Structure 1
Amino acid sequence: MASLVSSSLLLDVIGVIVAIIAVIYTWFKWSYGHWKRKNVPYIEPSFPFGNVAKSMAIDKISFTDRTLGWYKFGKENKYKHFGLYFIKSPVLLVMDLENIKNILTTDFEHWVDRGNYVNEEGDPLSAHLLNIGGEKWKNLRKKFTPTFTSGKMKQMFKTIADCSVSLDRVMEEKLKENKPLDIKTVAGNFTTDVIGSCALGLECGSFKEEDSLFRVYGKRVFDSNHFDFMKMIFVNAWPEFAKSMNLKIIPADVTNFFLSVVKNTVKYRRENNVTRKDFLQILIDMEKENYDGAGNSLTMNEMAAQALAFFVAGFESSATTMTFTLFEMSQHQDVQDRVRQEVNEVLAKHNGEINYESIMEMKYMTQVIQEALRKYPPIPDVSRRCVKEYKVPGTDLVLEEGTLAFIPIVGIHYDEDYYPNPTKFNPERFSHENKQKIKPFSYMPFGGGRRVCIGERFGLLQVKVGLTTFLKKYRYTLNKQTQLPLKMNPLNFITTVKGDVWLNYEKI
């Protein structure tokens, strides 16, 4: 009798589970009819990941390859936009440059937010300028913008140049070892020291210590594993539920390290009446101000969040840009020779000194960097979240609040209509004559519109200083350890090579 009751109970439990699964599946299938109901073309989603999350969780392809594949699909079908799904939420991939301009600039008030997960209470360092939206973002952005004027860049330049001296010394030392360079690591040590000094006024010591804490914890933000990606999918699919569970996207040890660094540095400056012209000083000054128009001052957690964002975004994207630029120059010796000649001719006019004026004179180097950024934009695509109902101009399509729009930057950069023979590395695309022909919003390595990367000018400056140091005395060729063709790391949302880029170098 007991066994019959147990069997009956088990059948009841199984029945309930099956019913729940059936309800969830039906709910998903109805959600997957969203774009069809709106007469918008779409790529068929897969239960339960949709399209976007499936590429991350199942297909394990890089963000670059994923975006290029979607763009090719849209281009072949001559779509101006088409639908995707993130889990069950609708995403519109926008291909038409005029519509992209509308989202990023003209109709920006409908698209203020990025749509990234933010948990100010449980994961305070997630609430930084790159993630937050609304009025808080507007006020912080307004406060930070003056930090990145050309005048402020000149003030910071000596700090950047001082870090290049350490880079030069390390290059001399490594030359004696007669080993290939993992160029991303060397470039990353340089940019870590630059950002640490310019942002926080601290010496990171990345070249002195192989396991510098700033380098270790900076890399931790980007070194994801499959579990991290699954968690990222979950928190962005169900942000309110994730907050209720107090889920974090920034590792606890990274949070603790940066909170400690900011707290200790702020305390030291206050107690010793120290003032520096750096990013942290702006945050310290903002703590005393009504920064958001509602009588609130900046909290220590908010200060640490902004410092973390500036630090990790600044060192990683710039190191990656230098890596790809040197990779391409190792494949195109004529380009490398021309850049080196320009570097040495300009430096000769400035008594061999790397100063702000000499760096600004290196026009051809700028073209080479711009072409590297076209082929390898640090972020393959950017997202915007609709914050109020939006009617797509020239159509009957109305997008509801909460809908995500994807801007496929790398796809646009490889579009033959904008860049003939797009796989070819050709710096002449950005010559003074040719760059006038580039269509607005067809070149966006730092994003575009009112949420364009605030540190673009600073990033390019440190890239140029780093490349000047790399190239003025050395010639680079590709080492056989570099796997060709390059494959991008599927576990990094920054465009990064899987297996690294290894270069031989010799003094000339």
Structure 2
Amino acid sequence: MFDAFSSYSGMLLIIIFSAVFGFIYQFVLRSWFYFSDRNVKFVRGMPLLGSTFKSVIGLEPSAISFRRLYEYFPKEKFIGIYDFGGRPSYLIRDPDLIKQLIVTDCDHFISNKLAIKNENDYFSQTLFGMCGSLFGKWSGMEYTTNLLFSTNKMPMMHELMVKITEQFIETLKRTDKIAKIFDSRDLFTRYTNDIIAKTAFDVEMNSLNGIDNEFYNAGSALNECRYVDGLKFLASLNFPSIIKTLDVFGAKEKHISTLRKFLGKTIEARTNKKSDRNNLIDLLIQARNGKLECNNSDDKIDIGFATTVELTTSKPKDEIQECTDDDIALQCVAFYLSTLSSVSQIACFMFHELALNPDIQDKLYAEINSVKNDLNGSSITYEIIPKMKYLDMVLCETLRRWCPIPFLERTCISPYVLETNGEKCIELQIDNGIFIPTYGLQMDEKYFPKPMKFNPERFSEENKGSIQTGTYLPFGIGTRNSIGSRFMIITIKTLVFHLLSEFYVDKSYKTPDPLKLKALPLLMDAEKGFFIELRRRNPDRTPYESQVFT
């Protein structure tokens, strides 16, 4: 009996040792000398946790980690790094090389790490995660979604934005007639929620009046910027089977399910009812039925310097006609969550900067007031907003200083030779990752002097022409850039126009100054939150005098 027990214990130890050794080899030893063998300068970081390990374990924001990597070898056009999980990847530092890889040779990097793990999970079924066998459906979804933000549809959408924004301002006026401190995150999340619900789904939410509903509560919970959520998401990309077994996303999946069911009912009602709204749901249903028509105009209105260029040129593939109601609901959920997060985040940073820079706010208010006087009581239109140059300058500088996407990632899907003027010749292998340190580039003094200073003049008509392509990427570049950047920009500009027309934005005792970023592995957020003080303006006084209460 003792011999049998000893034999069993010995076998168990061998199995455990083999499993541990296999794990160490797979994620540490196999790629330990990957870059040194290729004579590429690299930053090793920590085994398994990668080169950005400080952000992974919650010691610093991912934006700072990637900026640090960007500054390690300032003379190199690219360096080697390890991502979370130990995958050998390349950090691209050179703007021309970025354009070559992500735009010119984008067919080699059409995928990203988010899109290659599991074609059966929720994220891989959305526009942001489709790849592999789902690529045909992705191209169709991308084409259809881009139509929502085309020149001939945005003006109609903007009319709805204006109505909701005017209601938003009236709600703020009723809260108090003196200065009041607001939690910017909550305030702008509610605003964005109602904008998206009405313009993309034609659903009235009214969360601006403090009316919580199932849809808003689910979106708000999913929009929370918590370290543990970012870590779970990273872990799910590298260890999907383990994460699925542990069911660490149970709570999040319940919220996603709530949104899917809510939108599913809307889609079912629209399927058998003709609608001329041309919102996202209607467009996806039309595409599925093979009745989608493109009436895009070639002379698109330039609504901002930061708008990404849409590279989609072909009509959707047949795969989109195989979409179910649930597939459409998933696309709507993904669009809702990404836009809700981005717009509310950008608005928080922008109004934070306006509160800390009263001279910039006064100059912006002067432009807004001039346009408002010209309107003579009429509502602002989609065509007028692009003419407000200083508003665009302030938004562009916000997107530079507080980049909504601190880094971009792509995965190599076919062998590619990486060349830099003949100096180096590296063959990228399938599944190699490439990272673009967006925040590092936009905070590089070589491209943007005194990068810590908030200076909208960088984007004046005289100066923005000197900004090098590939150094300013707030919404990404090439394929898989940020779908809906046009929607986000026009939403934020509409909000700023109306809010500054009626209120002076000031910092309060709760406003962080200087603002410190929260240690998150993915997104950017303020460590101590966003808080602003709003004061009613008096239209009969100068911008400075209008700071007093009415």
TM-score, structure 1 as length reference: 0.92
Match of 1:235 in 2: 236
Structure 1 window deviating more from structure 2 (26-35 vs 418-427): it is 26-35
Residues 74, 249 of structure 1: alpha-carbon distance in 2 compared, 3 angstrom cutoff? farther
- The question of 1:409 aligning with 2:438 is answered yes
SS of match in other structure, 2:340: helix
Assess, with a 3 A threshold, how the Cα gap between structure 1 residues 156 and 327 changes in structure 2: closer, same or farther.
same
What secondary structure, in the 3-state scheme, does the structure 2 residue paired with 1:476 have?
strand
> Counterpart of 1:98?
96
RMSD, matched Cα: 2.6
In structure 1, the residue matched to 2:310 is none
Tell me, yes or no, if the aligned pair for 1:380 and 1:410 is still in contact at 8 Å. Answer: yes
Q: Could you say which residue in structure 2 is the equivalent of 1:373?
A: 399
Structure 2 CA distance for partners of 1:59 and 1:314, relative to 1, 3 Å: closer
Counting aligned pairs with the same residue, the percent is 25
User: Cα–Cα, structure 1 residues 141 and 122, in superposed 2: closer, same or farther, change >3 Å?
Assistant: closer
Change (3 A) 1:273 1:44: closer
Aligned equivalents of 1:161, 1:342: Cα separation in 2: 18
Number of corresponding residues: 504
Contact 1:231 1:249 in 2 (8 A): no
1:384 is the counterpart of 2:410: yes
- The aligned counterpart of 1:79 is 76
2:347 match = 322
Q: Hey, what does 1:304 align to over in structure 2?
A: 329
In the TM superposition, 1:47-446 aligns within 5 A as: 47-52=47-52, 54-75=53-74, 78-86=75-83, 87-117=85-115, 122-124=120-122, 126-133=124-131, 134-176=135-177, 178-223=179-224, 225=226, 227-239=228-240, 251-289=252-290, 291-293=316-318, 296-352=321-377, 353-394=379-420, 395-446=424-475
* Alignment-mate amino acid for residue 376 of structure 1: W
Q: Any idea what SS the aligned residue of 2:277 has?
A: coil
Partner SS for 1:397: strand
Question: For the structure 1 residues 216 and 66, does the alpha-carbon distance in structure 2 shift closer, same or farther, using more than 3 Å as the test?
Answer: farther
Q: Which amino acid aligns with 1:50?
A: G
Query: 1:250 Cα deviation (Å)?
Result: 8.7
- Does the CA-based 8 Å contact 1:286-1:297 persist in structure 2? no
Per-residue displacement from partner, 1:137-192 (whole Å, max 9, x unpaired)? Answer: 22322233222122211111111001111210122123347531112221221111
Distance 1:329 1:388 in 2: 46
Provide the C-alpha distance between the structure 1 equivalents of 2:46 and 2:416, rounded to a whole number of angstroms.
27
Preserved contact between residue 117 and residue 236 of structure 1 (Cα < 8 Å): no
**Distance (whole Å) between structure 2 residues aligned to residue 225 and residue 470 of structure 1:** 29
Hey, what's the Cα distance between the residues in 2 that align with 1:294 and 1:466? 38
Distance across 2 between alignment mates of 1:461 and 1:46: 42
Say if 1:295 and 1:350 are closer, same or farther in 2 by CA, change over 3 A. closer
**Structure 2 residue identity aligned to 1:34:** Y
SS of equivalent residue, structure 2 residue 88: strand
Look up the SS of the partner of 1:34 in the other structure. coil
AA aligned to 1:316 is S
Per-residue CA deviation, residues 217-257 of structure 1 (Å, 9 max, x unaligned), is 22333326555444323331245787899986992222322
Task: Tell me, in whole angstroms, the C-alpha distance in 2 between the residues paired with 1:122 and 1:244.
Answer: 15
Does the Cα contact within 8 Å between 1:80 and 1:96 map onto a contact in 2? Answer: yes
Report the more deviating stretch, 495-504 or 210-219. Answer: 210-219
Q: Quote the Cα distance in structure 2 between the aligned partners of 1:322 and 1:169.
A: 19
| Rounded Cα–Cα distance in structure 2 between residues aligned with 1:221 and 1:427 | 32
Superposition deviation, residue 215 in structure 1: 2.7
Greater mean deviation of Cα atoms: 178-187 or 471-480? 178-187
The Cα shift of 1:126 comes to: 4.3
1:41 aligns with 2:41: yes
SS at structure 1 position matched to 2:81 = strand
Distance in 2 between the 1:460 and 1:322 partners? 10
Query: In the superposition, relative to structure 1, how do residues 425 and 66 fare at CA in structure 2: closer, same or farther (>3 Å)?
Result: same
Query: Would you say the 8 A contact 2:403–2:439 is kept in 1?
Result: yes
In the alignment, structure 2 segments of 5+ residues that lack a partner are 292-315, 538-550
Asked if structure 2 preserves the Cα contact closer than 8 Å seen for 1:347 and 1:358, the reply is no
Q: Do 1:57 and 1:230's aligned partners in 2 also have CA atoms closer than 8 Å?
A: yes
Q: CA shift at 1:6, angstroms?
A: 4.4
Contact 2:58 2:521 in 1 (8 A): no
CA 364–225 in structure 1, closer or farther in 2 if over 3 Å, else same: closer
What is the CA-CA distance between 1:302 and the residue it aligns to? 1.8
Distance 1:106 1:62, change over 3 A: same
CA offset at residue 121 of structure 1?
A: 6.5
The structural deviation recorded for 1:210 is: 4.8
Give, in whole Å, the separation in 1 of the partners of 2:319 and 2:224. 38
* Separation in 2, partners of 1:177, 1:119: 53
Counterpart contact for 2:408–2:437, Cα < 8 Å: yes
Report how far residue 81 of structure 1 moved. Answer: 1.0
Measure, in 2, the Cα distance between the counterparts of 1:200 and 1:74.
47
Q: Which amino acid aligns with 2:219?
A: G
